[in-house]
Amino acid sequence: MLLIAVAVACVAASFVWREPWIGGVGLIIAFVAMFTDRDDVKLDDEKGSYETTKSVRNMRSRHR
């Protein structure tokens, strides 16, 4: 979230000061922020369900 805020501030500053390179830096920071986000999606195994992903796959494949 911090990187996104810095990126938005850089892009806004590029419009205020009319310096396009500052906006470019902001876009690079935004690109880096997309890949360093730590909000991982939980798998079914991590959600505390009583059936694992493997067992669900096995049950579904038996009936086909």
Short-list 44, 53, 48, 10, CA closest to 29: 10
pLDDT band at 54 (very low <50, low <70, confident <90, very high): confident
Looking at the predicted structure, is the pLDDT value of residue 10 above 70?
yes
28 or 63, greater pLDDT: 28
Calculate mean pLDDT across residues 47-57: 68
The tens digit of pLDDT for each residue in 22-39 reads 999 999 999 999 888 766
Identity at 59, one-letter amino acid code: M
Q: How far apart are CA 30 and CA 8, in angstroms?
A: 8
Residue 38 CB contacts under 8 Å (≥ 6 apart), including other chains: none
Whether the pTM exceeds 0.85: the reply is: no
In the chain, where the domains are located: 2-62
